[in-house]
Each structure stands twice: as C-alpha cells, then as structure tokens.
Amino acid sequence: MRRYYFDYNATTPVSPEVLQAMVPVMTEVYGNASSVHHFGQMARQRLDDARRQVAALLNASAEEIVFTSGGTEADNLAILGAARQGHAITTAIEHPAILGAVAQCSSSTTVPVDGRGLADPDEIRRALRPDTRIVSVMHANNELGTVQPVAEIARIAAEAGVAFHSDGVQAAAKIPVDVRALGVSMYSIAGHKFYAPKGIGALFVRKGTTVTPLFFGGHHERERRPGTENVASAVGLGRAAQWAAELGGEEWTRLGSLRDRFESAVLDRIADVHVNGAGAPRTPNTSNLRFDGIDSEPLLIALDLRGFAVSSGSACSSGASEPSHVLMAIGLTPEQARSSIRVSLGRGNDAAQVDALVDALAECVAHLRHIAGRRTSFSLSVPEQPDLTHVPAH
C-alpha cells in the first residue's frame, strides 16, 4: 500500500540537506563546543554558524538565540524564566507547552479568541495588571493555522513595559518571521516542524530581556541553558533555517495553492463541510475541516488504513476524550470539535497526492455518514436511566 503523509504540523522528516549537514558533525566534528582544544573549537565554529543561520531566519542577532531541546522547553523557558513569580496573560488556543507553563505562574489570565481563532488586542490590554510579567500569544496556531496580530499585541505589551513572548513553532519557516518588525521580546521555534530533527529548538531572547534558567549546571548558552551543546542537531536546525530563508518563499506559495486546491475540491465534492478558522489569515499549509454528523476518530483510522495520514487536532492530545480546546475556544460544540480533522501539507506533497486524499475523504465521509444515518437503538434499554443528580429520596 502506498502511504501519504499529510501531518506536517505534527512533525516533518529530516530533509536530505539537513541530514547531509549533520552527519559529518556527528562523526568528525565531535568535540565538546566548550573545550579549549582544536576539536572543541571546530565544534564551536559549527555551533556559531548554526546560531547565525537561525538568527538570520528570524532577523535576530546570533547572541539572541538560545538553543533548547525543542519547542516545549523554549516555551517553558520564556514563561517561567520571565514570569514564574508574577501574572501571565495568554490566549485560550495556546499549545499545552504554554498553558502548562502559565499554570505554574503565580496567577494568569486566559484571553478568549473569536470564531476565526483570533485574539482581540484590546482584550489583552484589558487583562494587563500591575503585576503582569509576561504576555504570550502564539504566532500561528497548530490546529487551525490562524496567524495572530502579534505585532499589534506586542506594541500593547511594550507600552505597558511587559515582556512579550510568541510561540512561533508553527509559524517559523511557514510564513515570514521578523522578530524586530513583530516587536517580540521572546520567540520559540522547534526544528522538527521544518525538516530538522526532533530534540532541537531555540528561543529568541531580545537583548535586554532577562530570563532565569530552568536548569542548573554549566555556563552554556550565555548562562541561560546549561548542558553540553547538541552541536549536530543545532547544525541541522541551522541548515533547515537556511533552506527556509532561501527557498521558503517559493515553497509557501506552492503549499498555499495546494491547500486551496484541496479545500475547494473538498467543499465542491462533500456536503456539509466547514473550514475551521476560515476568514482569518492562515499559514499556507494548514487546513482544519469539519464534517458535520461524523466522528473524526473512525475517519482518521479509516483514512490511515487506506494509507492517508491526517490528524484529528494536535498529536499531543490524541487519545484524549476531551474535544480540542482550540476548536472549543472558537465556539464549536463538542460534537463539532469531534467531527473535525487537520490536514497539514509539506515538502513531500503534490497535487496528485492531494487529489487522492480528496477521493479517499469523499468515500470515507460518505461511508461514515451512511452508518450514522441508519443508527437506530436496536439494543435493549438500559435497566435504569442514568440520573445521578441525587440518590433516591425517602
């Protein structure tokens, strides 16, 4: 069976050029980047090159890049490094890495989003308090692809003298990112979302912004992240950033038209489909679709058994019984949230694959709606109606 991957927001394969850059680092440039000798210096040089490449993707300076183990650590470092003892403001559709970290702060305010998935900057402004230490609003949402008005919110935070962080894990290397133009104090990225390996990410920390480390040990990463540098992975991240900076524009245009081709074909061929997050600016590769009357769980499995890998939201919460907090936040009912799937495109996809996915979707959705349509209660009745609001009265 041929298999097709449509879950690039969950993770991506390591690209050939990234792998090519990494292999010699693992086998030949194996020194500890903190060592004084030649081996260490060679590793340090690769690490510095990688840092410059990452900085270039974001329009940052190299010394503003802190390598981390990934997006979760970058998000945690930003929130807890700046605001553990204070008030944090965030939105209802953040990644669990933000929501979980914010829950560790002294207090927090979660700002709602509208039906398109966009936060209202005025709501952020109203949530500011004298003890607010950080505002964190994701750049692009992982499930919907919606792009937030980050620059506007950053201005509000700056006026209040509060640090502003943006989780850019789903935005970096998918849309242009300029941390200067956006005005963010901190910005998170994760390598495996754009063809670098898992286990490497980075936090941009603007000069003058203080973060206290999460870990304790050596003096690495300018006292912000101790631990022997993961040089090979950092080199991979740097090479992936370079690819995105040089060729990303073309690829994003290609993915945008593939996504539009996919959505218009689905809307054309399948009835009662809605695009979640429609009407907001979106990353070019992400499509979140709602198929009324069916459950995404069997749809996802049926597609997988035919060789098509899509997602029912974020991979981080799959297997959970709770509907997606993101889809609930944009006003969907639990049933609507449970009838939604996410298709996220990437370098391996082409028009033929997208067309094959549309065919499979049309058949699976029709099959599932047929089953749902003839659903009748052919079983025995439950012995007693489940009503536990009170125990039997006298």
148-207 residues near another protein, rule: CB under 8 A = none
Beta strand ranges found along the chain (DSSP E): 4-5, 65-68, 87-91, 107-111, 132-136, 163-167, 186-190, 201-205, 273-276, 286-291, 308-309, 340-344
Binding to another protein (CB under 8 A) within 56-85 occurs at none
Is 380 a binding residue for another protein by CB under 8 A? The answer is yes
Residue 105 annotated among the catalytic residues of the structure: no
For residues 372 and 55, give the distance between their C-alpha atoms in angstroms, rounded to a whole number: 51
Crossing angle for the helix pair 296-305 and 351-373, to the nearest 10 degrees: 130
- 386: contact with another protein by CB under 8 A: yes
Q: Does 384 bind another protein (CB under 8 A)?
A: yes
Nearer to another protein by Cβ, of 36 and 388: the residue is 388
Binding region for another protein (CB under 8 A) out of 10-18, 50-58, 179-187, 299-307: 299-307
- Catalytic: which of 26, 267, 316, 371? 316
Residue type, 73: E
If one asks whether residue 250 binds another protein (CB under 8 A), the answer comes out as: no
Stretch that binds another protein, among 187-195, 213-221, 259-267, 381-389 (CB under 8 A): 381-389
Q: Can you say how many angstroms the Cα of residue 257 is from the centroid of all Cα atoms in its chain?
A: 21
Exposure of 38 in the CB half-sphere (CA atoms within 13 A) = 1
Select the residue interacting with another protein from 103, 301, 316, 351 (CB under 8 A).
Answer: 301
Report the residue number, 46 or 342, with the smaller CB distance to another protein: 342
**Minimum distance, C-beta of residue 286 to another protein, in the bound complex (Å):** 24
Compute the distance between CA of residue 204 and CA of residue 178 in angstroms, rounded to an integer.
11
Among 161, 208, 352, 379, binds another protein (CB under 8 A): 379
Query: How many residues bind to another protein according to rule CB under 8 A?
Result: 34
The answer to whether 300 touches 360, Cβ cutoff 8 Å, is: no
Q: Taking phi first (over 0 means left), then psi (-120 to 50 degrees means alpha), and beta for anything else, what does residue 225 get?
A: beta
Q: Which stretch binds another protein (CB under 8 A): 7-15, 85-93, 174-182, 291-299?
A: 291-299
Q: Does 378 bind another protein (CB under 8 A)?
A: yes
Residue type, 339: S
Q: Structure tokens of 12?
A: 């991506």
> Does 351 engage in binding with another protein (CB under 8 A)?
no
What token pair was written down for 210? 């203080």
Among 312, 90, 304, residue whose Cα is nearest residue 188: 90
Footprint on residues 304-323 left by another protein (CB under 8 A): 304-306, 319-321
Q: Give the residue numbers marked as catalytic.
A: 316
Residues contributing to the site for another protein (CB under 8 A): 295, 297-299, 301-302, 304-306, 319-321, 359-360, 363, 367-368, 371, 375, 378-388, 390-392, 394
